[in-house]
Amino acid sequence: MEQITNFLSMGNYGAYIWTAYLLTAAVMLGLLVTTLQRLRKNKAELAEFQTIQNSTKQSGHKEETARP
Amino acid sequence: MKAFLNIVSRDLRLALRQKSDLTMAVLFFILTAMLFPFGLGPEPNLLARIAPGIIWVTALLAVLLSLERLFLADYEDGSLEQLILSSTSLEVAVLAKVLAHWLTTGLPLILAAPLIALLFNMDSDAMTILLIAMILGTPSLSLIGAIAATLTLGARRGGVLIPLLVLPLYIPTLIFGVGAIDAAMNSLEAGAVIANARPHLLLLGAILLVSLLITPLAGAAALRQSVE
Amino acid sequence: MSVFHRFANPNRFLKLTNQVLPWVSGLTVISLAVGLYMSFFTSPPDYQQGESVRIMYIHVPSAWMAMFVYTSIAIASVCSLIWRHPLADLAAKASAPIGAGFTFLALATGSLWGKPMWGAWWVWDARLTSVLILFFLYLGHMALMHAFEEQERGNKAAAVLAIVGFVNIPIIKFSVDWWNTLHQPASVMRADGPSIDPSMLWPLMIMGVAFKLFYIVVLLIRIKSELIEAKLRKYRRAVVDKAH
C-alpha cells in the first residue's frame, strides 16, 4: 500500500507528472478516436451510395432490356 | 522596371484618391497608442519604459488592418487576372504592390511615430533608434502581410483569417524592434547607444532580406492559384 | 516509374496501407508499453530534478513530433506544388491536426514541468515562444485549408503557407543555442553525441519511436478516410447533377 502511494506521489511531483501523462493520453486517444469515427462514417456513407448505385444500375438495366 | 513603376504609381494614385484609406491606418495608430496613458495612468517613467512596446504593437495592428485591401480590389475587379495574363513577371508585380502599400501605410506610421514617442516621454536617443528600427521593420510587415493577403484571396472569412496567419509571423519583427529601443534606453553612456542597439537592428535587417526573398515567390505562387 | 509515383495511384496506396497498418499498429502498442514501463520503472530520478524528470519522456518526444510533423507537411507541400503529387495534399491535410495536437502537448507538458522546476507555468524565452508560433502556424494552416469553396485552392494556399512557415523550424531548433535562455540546451540531438545517461536515453528514444509510429498509424487512417471522402464528393456531385 505504502509502495503504491509512494509511487503515486512521485517525490511530491505526482500532480504535475500524472497531469502531464493523462493529458498526453487524452490528446493521443482523442486524435485516434476522432480519426476512426470519421473513417467509419465515411465507409458507411460510401457503402450506402454504392448500394444505391447498384440498384439503379440493375433497374436501369431491366428497363433497357424491357424496351424492345 | 517600367512595369514595376507603373504599378506603384497606379496604386499610389488610387490611394491618394481614396484619402480615407490612407489616413485610417495612421489615425488608428495614434488613437490606440493614446489609449494606454488612460489605461495605465500618466506616470512619465512608466510610459517612457513601455513606449517602445506600445508603438510597435499598435503599428503592427495598424498594418494588419490595411492588409485585406492590398490585393482585394484588384482581385474583385479582374485587374489581377489581366496582370497575370500580361507579360509582367508576377514576382515584380508583387514587389511593386508591396512598395505602394508600404508608401501608403508604413511610411505614414514612421512619420507619426515621433509624435507618439514625444507624448510618451521617450528621450531623443531612443527616438533615433525607434526611427531606424521602424525604417528597417515596417517594410518587413508589408512584405510578410502581402503573403497572407494573397493567400486569403477568395477565402470565406478572409478578413478574420489574415490576423491568424500574419500575427505569428510578425512576432520576430516585434521582438527585435522593441529590443533595439530597449537596448538604446538601457545604455548608460551616450556613445554606447548605437553599439547596444546594433545586434537588434542587424537582425531586423536580416528579417527584411529574408522576407524580400520569400514574398515575391510565395506571393506570385498564391496569386496564380487564386485565379485558376 | 519511380517509387515516388508508384504510390500516386490511390488504389495501390490503399492496398499497401491495409497490409502495413496492422503491423505498425502492433509495433506502436508494444513500443508505447515498453517506453512507458521504462520511463516509470527502470529509469532513475534525476540528481537535480528528482522524479519530475519523468515528464521528459513525453515532453521531448512531443516536441520532436511537433517539428517532425511540420517538416513532413512542408515536404508534402513542396511535392504538391512542384510535382502535383495527388497524395501529397492529402498527407499534408491529414498531418496538420496531429501536429497541432503534439505541439499543444509539448507546450502543456513543458508548462507542467516548468512550474516545479522554474517556479512558473510559462516564461517568454526563445524556445517556448517559437514553439507557440509553431502552434499558431498549425492553426493557420488548418484554417486556410478549410477556408475555400474548392478544396483544391485551400490545399494549394495551405501548401504555400506551410513552406513559408518552415523558416520557424530552424529557429526552434537552434533557439537554445543562439540565446542563453532558461530552457535547457539540446542533450540528445548533438553533433558530439548525446550527453544524457543511457538509463534515461533509452526510454526517451523508445518513446520517441512510439510517438512516430503513432503518427504513421493515425496518418494512414486519415489518408484512407480522405480518399473515401474524395469518392463521396464525386457521388454527391452526381446526385446533385441528376437532381437538376
Chain C residues within 8 A of B171 when measuring between CB atoms: 129, 133
Q: Which of B71, B143, B200, B225 to mutate to test the interface with C (most CBs of C within 10 A)?
A: B225
pLDDT at position A62 is 47
Question: Could you tell me the sign of the dihedral formed by the alpha carbons of B218, B224, C2, C6, in that order?
Answer: positive
Optimal mutation site among B153, B156, B164, B213, interface C, most CBs of chain C within 10 A: B164
Dihedral sign (CA C202, C207, C210, C212): negative
Residue C195 lies in a domain: no
Tell me what pLDDT residue B10 has: 85
* H/E stretch holding C140: helix C126-145
Segment B48-94, tens digit of pLDDT: 888 999 999 999 999 998 898 888 888 888 888 888 888 888 899 99
Domain that holds residue C124: 21-44+55-179+200-243
**Interval C102-138: pLDDT, tens:** 999 999 999 999 888 888 888 888 888 889 999 999 9
Which residues neighbour B206 within 8 Å (Cβ) at sequence distance 6 or greater?
A: none
CA distance B59 to B26: 8
Lowest-confidence segment of B9-13, B151-155, B160-164, C137-141 by average pLDDT: B9-13
Alpha-carbon separation of residue C60 from A50, C108, C181 (angstroms): 46, 12, 17
Does residue C191 sit within a domain?
no
pLDDT at A55 over 90: no
Q: Report the candidate in C17, C167, C172, C169 with the shortest Cα–Cα distance to residue C90.
A: C17
* For chain B, domain boundaries: 2-227
Number of folded domains in chain C?
A: 1
Chains within contact range of chain A (3+ C-beta pairs < 8 Å): C
Q: What percent of chain B has pLDDT over 90?
A: 51
Per-residue pLDDT at A63: 46
User: What cell was used for A24?
Assistant: 498526453
Residue B150 has pLDDT above 80, yes or no: yes
All residues of chain C having their beta carbon less than 8 Å from the beta carbon of residue B222 are 157, 160
Q: Which of B112, B150, B89 is nearest to B31 (CA)?
A: B112
Asked, for residue C15, whether it belongs to a domain, the answer is no
Residue C49 lies in a domain: no
Is the pLDDT at A65 greater than 50, yes or no?
Answer: no
Determine the Cα–Cα distance for residues C228 and C78; give it in Å rounded to an integer.
24
Residue pLDDT tens, chain C, 244 long = 455 555 567 788 888 899 999 999 999 999 999 999 998 888 888 777 778 888 999 999 999 999 999 999 999 999 999 888 888 999 999 999 999 999 999 999 999 998 888 888 888 888 888 899 999 999 999 999 999 988 888 999 999 999 999 988 988 888 776 665 667 777 776 666 677 788 888 999 999 999 999 999 999 999 999 999 888 888 888 888 877 7
pLDDT, tens digit (0-9, with 9 covering 90-100), for B110-132: 999 999 999 998 888 889 999 99
Interface residue C84 vs chain B (CB under 8 A): no
CA distance A10 to chain C (A): 6
Average pLDDT over residues B182-186: 85
Inspect the interface and report whether the beta carbons of A49 and C235 lie closer than 8 Å: yes
**Which of chain A's residues have a Cβ under 8 Å away from the Cβ of C115?**
16
Chain C positions in Cβ-Cβ contact with residue B165 (cut-off 8 Å)? 140, 143-144, 161
pLDDT above 90 covers what percent of chain A? 38
Structural domain includes residue C130 = yes
In a domain, C102, yes or no: yes
With beta carbons under 8 A apart, name residues in chain A contacting C108.
Answer: 20, 23
In a domain, C14, yes or no: no
Least confidently predicted of A28-32, A63-67, C18-22:
A63-67
Flag whether C194 is in a domain.
no
* Torsion over CA: C114, C115, C118, C122 (sign): positive
What's the pLDDT at A64?
A: 46
